[in-house]
Amino acid sequence: MNQSSNRKSIGISGLAAYVPPYRVWLEDWCDWTNNQWPKIREVVGRSFRVRGPNHSVYTMAANAVIRLIDQYEVDASRIKFLGLGTESSTDNSAGAIIIKGMVDQALEARGKAPISRSCEVPEFKHACLGGVYGMKGAIRHLALDGVGSQAIVVCADIAEYARGSSGEPTQGAGAVAMLLEEDPQLAVVDLVGSGSASDYRIMDFRKPMLRFCGQDRSETHQVQDFPIFNGKYSTTCYIDETLHALNDMYEKRNLKSSEYLRSLRTLFLHRPYRRMPETGWAVSYLFALGQGKSEDRAELASYCYEADVDIEAVLAEMVSKPEVAKLAEPERLQFEVYPLTMAVLRAFRASRHYRREILDKLRLGSDTMLDLGNLYTAALPAWMAAGFEQALDEDSLSAGEEVLTLGYGSGDAAEVIPFFMAERWREAAAKIHFADAMELTLDLDRQQYEALHDGRHVQNLDYVARNEFVIDRVGTSVDRHFTDLGIEYYRYIA
């Protein structure tokens, strides 16, 4: 473990999730939209969740936080840092303080102490990486002026795309809250041994505020948040930033990349849909082979042979330094920066090594994630929560074992962070209850989905909220003496 002997271990002691009950089966969606179910199943998943008419990113985040406090019996007065990671915020002034206000109200109604008045309440925004940056900020807080306290970071997002767009099947909604402290119960987070990368990519995936102009909120509380995105270019950016973050970690830890990657048993990567982490990790493995010993290059050569690609040309491509941002033009967005490597990847996928080195290491929690869709900032912690719960059922992780995580945010930036399982990780994992958070479902028909998606009134939604926060109303006043236009008012339904 890459931890200094005189540095206190800090990490995660608990995870809790909130997922809205409204579910769309992708096989049904394929029937509605004339898409190919076998392809969608292989590349994307099985189903996704949709936020309800009284949900916002803030209500979902507060629901995850109150569950975390309940499930881990947290003394909220010890919380001195409450961070929100999101790219779906609808208030450009306040953020985590909104969640604190909701949670405090619910705690006080139960006769319990609220979150500490001296709690910091930052919001972290960088596309899907905001939650990881929030976690790093919380750990630094706990290591310095917050010594002896606890921190909560909640990742909450609503991923929605225009109907008919290529992103529509990758929608999702939900929140995951993390409890962080010294001597963590679940996993130690090794920031010293982590790797970082960032580079401006112009139009990979953006959310300019112009999209909100003129939206009608007369029927529901929803603000539609459809991103501006370019799918193939986004995949290129993801792969390139992953490679750079890994290289930063290899150098910091003096690692031999191929040996290190083979030594890992479990990985969790940012997951906007099923195929993306598989592709990102597989390309990383191929690059590690290219940097490795003679036997590593022999393995790479076998895939090159199957792909009818010259290995020397592939190795030259791997050490090139492509300027990805130069592809951010209409006529170049479909280009590959590593075309030969991507051709070799197709051969690698057909090999017997692909399951052992890629799929098996991404196995924990992956089946559960097929029914979540994209949760943006919450995608990585959700996969970790599902994976740790499966590992508990199978007893397939060991205390002290390294688990590698990769967070990614379009725009672009990536963080590769090693986790080391704590001695009492099984007790902490037993309190996650991720399967319970997924259990409550209401399957939508086509008319319900389209109305809910489009911000219209929805008929026959047979769901009554219990033990959760909802939007009670949205302010409409614009007066000289009182203005609350657009401000959401919340209610906790016990």
Give the pLDDT confidence of 7-30 residue by residue, as tens digits. Answer: 789 999 999 999 999 999 999 999
Confidence at 5, pLDDT banded by 50, 70, 90:
very low
Secondary structure E strands in 195-329: 195-198, 205-206, 228-229, 267-269
Cis amide leading into 412 (omega within 30): yes
Tens-digit pLDDT profile for residues 326-377: 888 888 888 889 999 999 999 999 999 999 999 999 999 999 999 999 999 9
Complete domains list, the chain, with CATH: 10-197+426-493 (3.40.47.10)
pLDDT band at 457 (very low <50, low <70, confident <90, very high): confident
Reported as a single tens digit per residue, the pLDDT across 186-201 is 999 999 999 999 999 9
Query: 213: how many CB neighbours lie within 10 A of its CB?
Result: 6
Alpha-carbon span 90 to 211, nearest angstrom: 12
Q: Kindly tell me if the per-residue pLDDT of 222 is higher than 90.
A: no
Is the torsion defined by CA of 437, 443, 446, 452 positive or negative?
negative
State residue 331's pLDDT score: 83
Q: State the pTM of this model.
A: 0.95
Could you tell me if 440 and 49 are in contact, meaning their C-beta atoms sit under 8 angstroms apart? no
pLDDT band at 1 (very low <50, low <70, confident <90, very high): very low
List helix spans (H) across 264-329: 275-290, 294-307, 311-318
Does an H or E element contain 17, and which? strand 10-18
Q: Is the pLDDT of residue 274 over 50?
A: yes
pLDDT, tens digit (0-9, with 9 covering 90-100), for 47-60? 999 999 899 999 99
Per-residue CA distances from 338 to 29, 235, 256, 399 (Å): 33, 12, 22, 38
- Model confidence at 3, pLDDT cuts 50, 70, 90, reads very low
